[in-house]
Amino acid sequence: MFFIFILIFCFAIFMLIKTISEPALVGEDVYCQGDLPASYVITCKNDCIVLKSLVDNKEQILFPDDLKIEYLKEADFDEVELILKNENRHLIRLHNLSRGNLDGFLYNATQKGFVVEESPKFSRKELSEIENLCLCDSDYFSDLDFYEDDFGFEKRLKRANSEKMTILYLDKLKNYAKIKSQSGKVYLTTLSGCNCPDFQTNFEPCKHMIFLAQQVGVIDKQKQEEFLNKNEQ
């Protein structure tokens, strides 16, 4: 009896190690480039990633040189979107993945040489927050002359010009953006609002909003120079 117990225990340990070393993800609502929607099991094996179709059991083997892994973590939901990209094209995309063994899968993928990047796109929480920033229809940048004697705006405009800021992601249709400030902090920004402390306190265009307006061409460069020159006189 003791011998059987030892065998069962060893088998359980073996299965546990196998699960940890080769975590698998089952994709729901998966789109494979050029194919109809299907479901796949994705597994890290040896030095590659194996995609096995649950429809016809066919396998695709992907190597580090062929693939980049991008994933989007949902802040308040136990779901993750995982995207496998090939030459900047979506090869396969999985929605509604449980976080259960995702971390193990990504850890194994990086150990095997795959590049794993967190997607800069908006999560559901961020989309909800950024849409709340757009409740007002104010066009802050239609006429810079409105700010002729506004030294706060002039100061922010100069900071937008001088500080190092980066747009991590931009929805070109709605002009929603994730902007990385010089401090390293990332803010959700639109042309009518921002979740940075400055805008949340003063409800006036912040440097991030001005920077976004410059990048999408809402603020005319010539008018901007004329505004700064006029205020310096």
In tens, the pLDDT along 115-137 reads 887 777 787 778 888 888 876 65
pLDDT of residue 88: 57
pLDDT single digits (tens) 70-94 = 777 664 455 677 777 766 565 666 7
Statement to judge: residues 112 and 143 lie in one domain: no
Same structural domain for residues 150 and 56?
A: no
Total number of residues shown for the chain:
233
- Listed in order, strand segments (DSSP E) in 33-158 are 40-45, 48-53, 59-62, 68-73, 80-86, 89-97, 115-118
Same domain, 103 and 191: no
On whether both 94 and 55 belong to a single domain, the answer is yes
Residues 48, 145 within the same domain: no
Which of the listed residues 119, 148, 180 is the one where a domain comes to its end?
Answer: 119
Helix (H, G, I), strand (E, B) or coil at 41: strand
The domain boundary, picked from 72, 93, 119, lies at 119
Among residues 58, 40, 48, which one has the least CA distance to residue 22?
A: 48
* Residues 131, 108 share a domain: no
In-domain check, residue 163 = yes
Q: How many domains does the chain have?
A: 2
pLDDT in tens, 4-52: 656 665 555 555 444 444 556 655 444 444 444 567 778 888 788 887 8
pLDDT of residue 3: 59
Burial class (CB in 10 A: 0-12, 13-18, 19+), 131: middle
Q: What 8-state DSSP symbol labels residue 98?
A: -
Question: 135 with 176, same domain?
Answer: yes
- Any domain includes 155: yes
Residues 74 and 131 in one domain: no
CATH number of the domain bearing residue 46: 2.30.29.30
Residue 36: both structure tokens together: 């109809």
The reply to whether 67 and 138 lie within a common domain is: no
Domain range enclosing 55: 24-119
